[in-house]
Structures are given as structure tokens and as C-alpha cells.
Amino acid sequence: MRALLCLVAATAGAAPAPAQQQAAAAASPAVAQRIAGLLATLRGEGDYAAYFSAAFRQAVPRPQFAAVTAQLGATLGQPLAIASVQPVGAWSATVVVRYERGTATIALTVDAAPPHVVTGLRITGTQLAGDDWRKLSADLAALPGRTALGVYRLGDGAPNAGRGAAWRPSNAAGLRLQALGAWRAG
């Protein structure tokens, strides 16, 4: 999981939409060029050695990068498009990549010196499409046996939200919540 948060880059042959190109233009044109190649890189189609700096390749060898992109693919599906670009300076941007089943937010940093290779690529978050309380409740209801879910504020006895309210957590579950509450308070 740490590897997932520390890397992810990719390039695609498809260029970003005009609005995305304008946003990237506030940074360096080299950043827009590397963003244009991100989808292909995430799909494993790009030239890994030409896209990333030697320091990045040493820290994140190609097999490790491939494992991270495979993990993203298993969760989110194939990368489809650049959803948005937010420049964070002349040589970096926050890029949201749209996948088949969600999005991934990536912090991308490009070297200021030619050939402007990617020196940093960090996945800062993922979001599954349609992942909300109703879906969670429906998935839970579809499980066999007796199920329940409670959302509790630490230190407060009554659930804030839940399903199967007649069910009470076992003593072990209550103890885990108490221990977590003590840890958060300390």
C-alpha cells in the first residue's frame, strides 16, 4: 500500500482536453507534455526509461511500478482519460485520472532541466465511482447471515448511523473501539 502512495505515473497517446491543456499551461509546457503521456505510462505502454528520471527509476524499479499500476487496475479498471489538471507551480501539477470504475489523484513533478523527465509521481488518493452509504448498505444486506453496521463517534455510546440497529457489538468489538478511542485521545 505504501508503494501505491509513493508512485504512479503514466502516459497516454491521447492529449488532454483543451481546458486541461490551458490549466497545465499555467505550469510549464513540459508539464503538459508529460501529462499527455501519463495514461500510456499507467497502461504500461509508455517508455518507462524516457518518462522517468534515473533517480525515480532507481527508487521505483519498473517491476515495482508495474505492480502498483496493476493494483490500481484491479481496483479501478483501465485508465481512460485525464479528468482534471491543477498546476501546483511551474514544474508540478495535481492530475486526476479517470478510470473505468473511479478516479486516482496523482501529484506529478517534472525536472526543470531538459529533457524534462518526471522526477516525482505520487498517488495521493483514489475514489471508486458510486461508492456511497446506499451502496455499502446494499452490499452488506446482500451478504449471507446476520449483518450489521454501526458508525460511532469515539467516546459516544449511540451510533450516528447504522443498519441492523438491534445488533450490539460483542465485548471484544467494544474493547477495540475503547482502545482506539484511548489511543486517539492520547
- Cβ 167 vs Cβ 148: under 8 Å: yes
Note the pLDDT of residue 130.
Answer: 81
For 85, what's the count of Cα atoms within 13 Å in the CB-facing half-sphere?
Answer: 31
- Cβ 165 vs Cβ 152: under 8 Å: no
Closest CA to 11 of 118, 157, 93, 134: 118
pLDDT for 183 beyond 60 = no
What confidence category does residue 15 fall into, taking pLDDT thresholds of 50, 70 and 90? very low
- The C-alpha cell at 16 is 488532454
Query: How does pLDDT run across 50-108, given as a tens digit for each residue?
Result: 999 999 999 999 999 999 999 999 999 999 999 999 999 999 999 999 999 999 999 99
Note the pLDDT of residue 20.
Answer: 44
Global pTM reads 0.64
